[in-house]
Chain A
Amino acid sequence: MRLDVRFPIGGMFTIIGAMLVIYGLVSPAAVYERSLGINVNLWWGLALLIFGVVMFAFAVRASRGWSAWRRAMQPQPPAQDRRPPTVS
C-alpha cells in the first residue's frame, strides 16, 4: 500500500502541534521573555495543530473514506501484490 504523503504530514503536525499547545499551557511565563512576552508555543502550536488536522482530513477525503486509511496503517504486503495507488 502506498501512502499519501498528506497522512504523515498531517499526523506529524497534529502531534507536534498538540505537544506545543500542552507545553504552552503548562510552561511558566518567564519562558516567553525572549519571544517578546508572547506565548508562541501555545499560538504556533495551535496553528500547527489546525494545519495537521486539515492535511489529515484532505488525505482521508482523497483516499475516499476510512478503509484506505486502515489499510495504509497495516504492515505492507510483499512487493509482488502491491496494488496501484488509490489516490487520484
Chain B
Amino acid sequence: MLGIGWALRRVIRSSEDFFLSGRSIPAWIAGLAFISANLGAQEVIGMAASGAKYGIMTSHFYWVGAMPAMVFVGLFMMPFYYGSRARSVPEYLKLRFDEKTRALNAITFAIMTIFSSGISMYALAKLFELVLGWSFHGSIVLSAVIVLIYIFLGGLTSAIYNEVLQFFLIVLGFLPLVLLGLKDVGGWSGLTAKLATVATNAGFEPGAWTHSWKYMDSPSHNPMGMEWFGLVMGLGFALSFGYWCTDFLVVQRAMAAGSMTAARRTPLIAAVPKMLMPALVILPGMLAIGLHASRGGFLPIGADGQPNYNLAIPMMLGHYLPSGLLGLGLTALMASFMSGMAGNVTAFNSVWTYDIYQTHIRPGQTDAHYLRVGHAATVFGIVASVLAAYSATRFNNILDMLQLVFSFVNGPLFATFLLGMFWRRTTSHGAFYGLLTGTITAALHYGLTLPRGAVPGIKGGFLGAVLHVYPSEMALNFWTALFAWTGCFVATLLISLLTKRTKTDDELRGLVHSLTPRQRDGDMPWYKRPVTLAVGILAVSALLNVIFW
C-alpha cells in the first residue's frame, strides 16, 4: 500500500504544475489549494493533540480564528497582494518599505521555516518509531535522510498539485476513523459522558471538554486556561489574522486565480470546507482522550508525566483501522509530512540564498555560486531541523510549539501589514523598528513568563525572573502574540509620526488602501459577490459557536 502510494505520487509529480501558469482554474480547486496549503499532517496531528489536551475549545482556532481572518484576507487584503504582484512577504515589504525591513522579516521567516520543518520531522519520527519499532534517534535520522533525498530529487516541482491530492487523501483516509470512533463510544452523547470523567479528573466542571465558551469566564475554569478576552484578541485577532494574512505559502494559492474577483473569492470558498474540519481533526483527539480515561493508558505517558497528546492520531489509527485502510491512513500522513518538511526547507533555502545572502552578504556572484550556496543551505536547514525536532520532544502537543513560533513571527508582522496597507503615513523606519520592537516584546514576554508546571528553558522563563505563570502553554502563546502585536503597532505608529516618508504616493500605488482603486462588485449578481459569501460564512461560524457553546 505504501509502495503504491509512493509510485502514484511519482507519476503525479511529473505532470505540469498548472495552477500558477494556467489562470483559468475552477474556483473550487483554487479554494481547495488554499486550505490544503494549510492542512498538512502537522495540522492533523497538532489539532488532534489539542483536542485531547484542551477539548472542544480547540475549535476556536477555526470558528473564532480562521473564519474571520479568511474573510478579512478575501475582502480587504487580497486587492493589495493581487495588485502589487509581490510573490513573497519579504518582497511586499521591500516594495512598501525598504530593504532592511525585508531583511529583518527574511531572518525571522527563515527561523520559522526551520522550526516548522523540525516539528514535522519530530512527528514523522514518532510515527516511524511506532510503526517500525525503531528508536527515536534512528527514526530522526531516517526522516532527515528521506527529506534530503526528496528535495534533491526535485520533490517540489508541483507543490500545489500534490497538496490538493494530499488534501483528499487526508480527508478520505481519516473519515472512517472518526466514524468508527464515534460509533464505538456511542455517538456525541457517549463521548460527552466519557469526557465528563476526563474533566472532573482534571478538576474542572464535567462539561469543560465539550463546551467551547461556557467555561471561559475565568482562566481557572477551562483546560486551556484562557478567559474570553485573551482568546478573542490573542488567538482570534493577533495569531489568526497574522497567520492567514501574512503566510504567503497560503496566500499564493489564491493569487493563482484568474482575476481579482476570483482571487478575492478563493479564501471565502476555502472557508466553507475549513469550517467543517474540526470534525475531522479535533474530534479524533477528543475520542482518544475519552478512551484514555475510560480504558486506562490509551496514550503513552511522556517524560513530564502527562500523556503524549501528539500520539492521539497514530494510536487511534492503530486501534480502529484494519490492515488495508491502515495503510491508506499512514500513507496520507507520511506523504503530507514529507512534502511539509520539504516545502519548509526549500523556503528556507530560497529566503537565505536570495533575500539574505545575495542581497546583503555577497551580491554579484555567478549563478553557480548561488546554486552551491543553496545546496549548502538545504543541508544546513535539515541539520537545524533535526535540532528543532529534538526541542519539539519537550512539548506534549506540537500545536503549542507551532503557535509559539507563530506568535513571534506572524503576531508582530500583522501589525506592520495592517499599518502599511491602511495608513500611507507609515514610514520605512517605523516599519523596521516597529517590527524589531514587536519581536523583542515577544521575546521579553516569553522570557519572563512560564506555563504552569514547566521548568524555565525552552518553554519560557529563561530571563531569570518569572513574572507570571499561565495555566497552559497555549495561554502563554496567545498572550505572547497579543503583546508582540501591540508592541509592534505602537512602536510603528510612534516612529512613523517622528520620521519622514521615503516613498512617494506614486511609488505606493497599489500597495496602500487609499492609493488603490476601489473594487467594484456591482456588476455581479448579488449571490456571487464576495461580500455575500463573507456574510454567510460568518453567520454559519457564529451558529457553530452557539451549538457547541
A residues adjacent to B (C-beta < 8 A): 1-3, 5, 8-9, 12-13, 15-16, 19-20, 23-24, 27, 31-32, 34-36, 38, 40-41, 44-45, 48, 51, 62, 76, 82, 84-85, 87-88
Contact = CB atoms under 8 A, between A and B. Distances in A.
B500 to A, nearest CB: 48
Contact of A88 (B1, B24, B164): B24
B296 interface: no
Give me the 10 closest cross-chain CB pairs, A-B, nearest first.
A2-B18, A41-B324, A85-B22, A31-B322, A3-B15, A23-B324, A44-B176, A8-B12, A2-B16, A35-B322
Interface string B162-203: 001100110010001000100110000000000000000000
Interface string B319-340: 1111111001000000000000
Contacts of A19: 1, 4
B356 interface: no
B8 A5 contact: no
A24 B324 contact: yes
Contact of A5 (B164, B172, B323): B164
B525 interface: no
Nearest to A58: B26
Contacts of B479: none
Contacts of A9: 164-165, 168
Q: How would you classify the secondary structure of chain A's contact residues: helix, strand, loop or mixed?
A: helix
B151 interface: no
Taking residues whose C-beta sits less than 8 angstroms from the other chain, chain B's interface range is 20 to 34
Contacts of B184: 36
A85 B319 CA distance: 45
Given A15-B4, A19-B4, A34 B26 contact: no
Nearest to B184: A36
B533 interface: no
A48 B176 CA distance: 11
B22 A15 contact: no
Contact of A8 (B22, B165, B323): B165
B446 interface: no
Given A9-B164, A9-B168, A12-B8, A87 B322 contact: no
B309 interface: no
Given A12-B165, A34-B321, 15 more contacts: A2-B15, A2-B16, A2-B18, A3-B15, A5-B161, A5-B164, A12-B12, A13-B168, A16-B4, A40-B325, A41-B324, A41-B325, A44-B325, A48-B172, A87-B25
Q: How would you classify the secondary structure of chain B's contact residues: helix, strand, loop or mixed?
A: helix
Nearest to B328: A16
15 contacts: A1-B16, A3-B16, A3-B18, A5-B18, A8-B11, A13-B168, A13-B172, A19-B1, A31-B322, A35-B325, A36-B184, A40-B322, A40-B324, A44-B325, A87-B24
A51 B18 contact: no
A40 B503 CA distance: 63
A24 B325 CA distance: 10
Interface in B1-35: 1, 4, 8, 11-12, 15-16, 18, 21-22, 24-26, 29
Contacts of A20: 324-325, 328
Contacts of A3: 15-16, 18
A85 B24 contact: yes
Nearest to B17: A2
Contacts of A45: 324
Contact of A76 (B1, B16, B24): B16
Contacts of B18: 2-3, 5, 85
B2 to A, nearest CB: 12
A34 B320 contact: yes
A61 B322 CA distance: 36
Contacts of A32: 322
A38 B176 CA distance: 11
Contacts of B176: 40, 44
A36 B319 CA distance: 10
